[in-house]
A and B are shown apart, each in its own frame.
Chain A
Amino acid sequence: MNLRRFWAVARKESLHVRRDPSSLGLALGIPMLMLLMFGYTLTLDVDHVPFVVWDQSGTSQSRALLAHFTASRYFDFRGTVENYGALEHVIDDRDASLVLVIPPEFARRLDARRPAPVQAVVDGSDSNTASIILGYTLGIISGFNQDITLAQVRRAPGAIPSPALDLRPRIWFNPDLESRNFIVPGIMAVIMGLIAALLTSLTIAREWERGTMEQLISTPVKPAELILGKLLPYLGIGMLDMVIAVLMAVFLFHVPLRGSVLLLFSVGGIFMVGTLAQGILISTLARQQLLASQVAMISTFLPAFLLSGFAFAIGNMPVAVQAITYIVPARYFVALVKGIFLRGVGIATLWPDILFLVIFALVVAGASIVFTAKKLR
């Protein structure tokens, strides 16, 4: 490894980047665009659920139940229906995701201290959303039950009872359970991996296609000088992308950044080196730009999107798939970014994930150097 040759390659490669402003624009613009799109559209939150009531009881008790729903920020009251046909209609037209049916004998049964059934008709076409709506509904119903029980007991003579269990939940790190807070750091990791591999996937293949590689391999340049020299300018672009992404996360999406900024960018750099090297390795083996860029895209985006745990919890995956996630570098980077952003933890907690990223970067960079044969086929 000779420093002069390394610098010669790095300088030449950065000239290529500078001379090609449209590619540079894409390299910086695409991450911004993706972060905007995903940040605003990809939300797993369910709130302001439109709901409609068929109040067959029409009593003060039924209105009290209704008040519990309208007071909740999870539900938006969208009116009433008076018959089954209208009920079907609002669900079919997606005017409401929930119809609450309060039967005529509701008040009478309550007064008689007998269980009063209430029907909840939920649009189940999106099962995840439906179960969340059902959860909210049960929560409100149990709140209403508690109120009634307390009222009935108060009216009766004797001591004031207290409920047996009183759960006071506290959710750490993301107290409002804003899905954006964990989606934005996750998507940052996905985008950085994708862009990094795409940036470098073209570099070696382009030299093969244009014939400049034949000249280059007739010189004494060593594979390590070539690979690392090519990597350096793209590491610069990748880190610039990360700065943009972090600034957008903090100032546009208001994701709290609780941990060390230095640590965040350090692990970003390590992740970047590994993924840039992955792009170079693909480029070296493919020797064709089109093939290389497609392989780079699929081999980074899909695992990062599906297997990193950024949107879909790894614990819910089949065991075999869980095993695969261990070799996906994005898995570790997503964990690190979330850890630093939301939990504010440091290197003492995060070192195993960092260690994996270091190993990944070394192995892949090493492989791309080994596979850079200075031979024609």
Chain B
Amino acid sequence: MRAEPKPSAETVVEVQNLTRRFGSFTAVAGISFAVRRGEIFGFLGPNGAGKSTTIRMLCGLLAPSSGSGRVAGFDIVREAEKIKTRIGYMSQKFSLYDELTVEENIDFYSGIYRLPKSKKIERKEWVLTMAGLRDHRHARTADLSGGWKQRLALGCAVLHEPPVLFLDEPTSGVDPNSRRQFWDLIYELSGQGVTVFVTTHYMEESEYCDRLGVIYRGELIALGTPRALKTEHMQGAVLEIECERPSDAMELVERLPEIKEAALFGKGLHAVTRDTNAAPAIQAIRAALASGGFRATKVESIVPTLEDVFVSLIEARDRAEAPQAEVRR
């Protein structure tokens, strides 16, 4: 007996005021958002921001302290077990059985998901091909490299072709090449109409997402497409500065009244201006660097990266909270 979800529409994941407390610590503080069918939705945030806690609540693994939500048409509080038939989940830690072979792990999960016999063989071959493990089907899982393990885990999570896929930091600890391959797989699944909810703390990965939620200290501090975040959430222009001794130069640049904040970035500096018109700030920086004896090769306005946005959002949040923290003390 399988209850069909309400034929409601395009929204596949939806939460309102979702909160989870562990004792006195609030891991997730009243977040609300919605994810549409076929979307790749990224959840970006530093470690401990509440990403895993959120994903676990969505998968029905953790009961929320308050708030509500629906996944694939089912209520995350009352219908957690029904959700589990419609999702694939890959936890942060590798969670297949090390002492079993590749094939035995796949067979175990196809038994758990009750795949019919004909489907079972077809899906197994699909996973083995997708993960590049056709020649290693009898290898112990423990002996596989990180990239292989991760693709095998993804394969086991989508054996039953779930419409929604939850990936909790799927690429942490994997080399960049494997990471790229993994994202190709995610695009492929998304192309087939699978909704993908993925958490990450890699900036370049979040650029691959259709939409992003930025989570910090349990709160959702920004939500939108990567492009929208870059254009709407930066109140000033971003300048790229290339000069000698950038860490010393940073102190100088930070003190300029035209500059809101500055941070080391690659071989140089990134600075955010107070005003959207960058021209006066560029002149001020050039003058300050020249008088300070730093030879500057480049000071120009650039399109901000997500990292600029992220740093700016987090600093804005910290500035807003710092006075409150003082008062509390």
The contact string, 1 if C-beta is below 8 Å from chain B, for chain A 2-42, is 10110111011001100110000000000000000000000
Near A by CB (< 8 A), chain B positions 78-94 give 80-81, 84-85, 87, 89-91, 93-94
Complex: how many Å from CA A290 to CA B111?
A: 30
One digit per residue, 1 when the CB lies within 8 angstroms of any chain A CB and 0 when it does not, for chain B 62-106 equals 110000000000000000110011010111011111111000100
Q: Is the CB of A215 within 8 A of B89?
A: yes
0/1 per residue, A195-223, Cβ < 8 Å to B? 00000000000000011101111111100
Q: What chain A residues lie within 8 Å of B112 (beta carbons)?
A: 5, 8-9, 216, 219-221
**Interface pair A12/B104, CB less than 8 Å apart:** yes
The yes or no answer to B56 lying at the interface (CB within 8 A) is yes
Q: Is the CB of B56 within 8 A of A12?
A: no
Are B96 and A212 in contact, with the CB atoms below 8 A?
yes
Q: Which residues of B contact A8 (CB under 8 A)?
A: 107-108, 110-112
A375 and B84 in contact, given A11-B108, A212-B96 (Cβ under 8 angstroms): no
Q: Chain B residues near A4: list those with CB within 8 A.
A: 111, 114
A343 at the interface (CB under 8 A from B): no
Describe A's contact surface by its main secondary structure. Answer: helix
Separation of A211 and B92 alpha carbons in the complex (Å): 9
Asked whether, in the complex, the Cβ of B111 is within 8 Å of the Cβ of A218, the reply is no
Asked whether, in the complex, the Cβ of B84 is within 8 Å of the Cβ of A376, the reply is no
In the assembled complex, A374 has its CB within 8 A of some CB on chain B: yes
Contact A218 B87 (CB under 8 A): yes
Set of chain A residues within 8 Å of B97, measured between Cβ atoms: 12, 16, 212
Chain B residues near A211 (CB, 8 Å)? 91, 93-95
Within 8 Å CB of A215, what residues of B? 89-91, 95-96, 156-157
* Nearest-neighbor residue (CB-CB) of B108 within chain A: A12
Contacts of A15 in B (CB 8 A): 99-100, 104
Which chain B residue has the least Cβ–Cβ distance from A221? B112
B93–A5 CB distance below 8 A: no
Q: Are B100 and A220 in contact (CB under 8 A)?
A: no
Docked pose: A12 CA to B110 CA in angstroms: 12
Residue of B nearest to A18 (CB): B99
Residues of B within 8 A of A219 (CB): 84, 109, 112-113
Which among B85, B107, B156 is the interface contact of A220 at CB below 8 angstroms?
B85
Cα A214 to Cα B92 with chains together (Å): 10
**Which 3 residue pairs are nearest across A and B when measured between Cβ atoms?**
A8-B111, A215-B95, A218-B89
Interface positions of B (Cβ within 8 A of A): 56, 59-63, 80-81, 84-85, 87, 89-91, 93-100, 104, 107-114, 156-157
Q: Residues of A with Cβ closer than 8 Å to B?
A: 2, 4-5, 7-9, 11-12, 15-16, 19-20, 210-212, 214-221, 374-376
9 contacts between A and B (CB under 8 A): A5-B111, A8-B107, A8-B111, A15-B100, A16-B97, A16-B100, A218-B59, A220-B84, A220-B112
